[in-house]
Structure 1
Amino acid sequence: MIVDEREILIYYNPDSNSDLKTVAFAQSITPFVKSYTYQQAPISNLRWEQIFQAIGMPPKEMLNKSDPYYQENIRGHEFDDDGWMKILRHNPQLIKAPIAIRGDKVILCESPKDIYKLTEVEEVEKEV
């Protein structure tokens, strides 16, 4: 699941101002940004699983628990990690923050400035 080092791939919720800021910050890092809303993301189930594993966070922690759909349909239910991943794959609008990929690094951008974590390795290498 490697993306070119010059490119940033972002999956985001277009209804979130914070997500839109994250996309804008990414565009300030590189002109090579591919951004997809979660609904239009061309992602297979296997790719979603790879993304979730690469983030290194339990799928349940990636949920936006304030979302009305979550409140009405999911709150109070318990699932294993596979069950939570299935919920997120079928309801990607429930992912609480944009997912950004650059090279082999995948992050959940809980703050728009988290996108800059994708440049940390690059900056350290320049200093050496």
Structure 2
Amino acid sequence: MKMHPSELFLYYNPTHSIDKQARAYARSVAKYVNEINIEKEKITATGWRTILEKLNLRAKDLLNRAHPDYQNHIAGKTWDEEGWLNILARYPHLIRAPIAIKRDKAVLCIQPTEILKLN
């Protein structure tokens, strides 16, 4: 993923309040904010793999396990790495917090202020 040195990528869901707050903080961290609405813009399994590598997390670490869709479609089944990536691609609304990436740093913003770690 090629980006401007001061550009921040924010993967978010505009219907979640934490995501809205993270958007506001993003503008204080970077001059250029590339907002990616995960509900509208499809991210491929390969794209998710790149994001996970930057976060140093597993796909299932990003998911809201309390969400009804998780309980109905995912819980209780065995998934390999590719399966988890496909779950992220198919059910992006299950991501539990916005993801911010600036240069080689990435953070899962459980709290909106965690985006400040990218400064």
TM-score, with length taken from structure 2:
0.89
Q: Which runs of 5+ in 2 are unaligned?
A: none
| 2:114 aligned residue | 114
Find the aligned partners of 2:29 and 2:51 in 1 and give their Cα distance.
Answer: 22
RMSD of aligned Cα (Å): 1.6
Distance apart, 1:33 and its partner CA:
1.1
Report the residue type matching 2:81 in the other structure.
D
Bigger fraction of residues in helix? 1
- Is the CA contact (8 Å cut-off) linking 2:18 and 2:112 kept in structure 1? yes
Report the residue type matching 2:114 in the other structure.
D
Find the aligned partners of 1:21 and 1:35 in 2 and give their Cα distance.
Answer: 13
Secondary structure of 1:9 counterpart: strand
Distance apart, 1:64 and its partner CA:
0.7
Secondary structure of 1:65 counterpart: coil
Structure 1's consecutive aligned runs of 4 or more residues displaced over 4 angstroms after TM superposition are none
Find the aligned partners of 1:57 and 1:34 in 2 and give their Cα distance.
Answer: 22
| 1:84 aligned residue | 84
| 1:125 aligned residue | none
Query: Number of matched residues?
Result: 119
| 1:98 aligned residue | 98
| 2:75 aligned residue | 75
Q: Which runs of 5+ in 1 are unaligned?
A: 120-128
Distance apart, 1:43 and its partner CA:
3.6
Larger Rg: 1
Alignment of 1:12 onto 2:12: yes
Find the aligned partners of 2:5 and 2:66 in 1 and give their Cα distance.
Answer: 34
- Is the CA contact (8 Å cut-off) linking 1:25 and 1:115 kept in structure 2? yes
TM-score, with length taken from structure 1:
0.83
Q: Which digits, 9 at most, give the CA deviation of each residue in 1:93-124, with x for residues without a partner? A: 111111111112222111111101111xxxxx
- Is the CA contact (8 Å cut-off) linking 2:102 and 2:118 kept in structure 1? yes
Find the aligned partners of 2:60 and 2:92 in 1 and give their Cα distance.
Answer: 13
Distance apart, 1:70 and its partner CA:
0.8
Secondary structure of 1:107 counterpart: strand
Percent of pairs with identical residues: 36
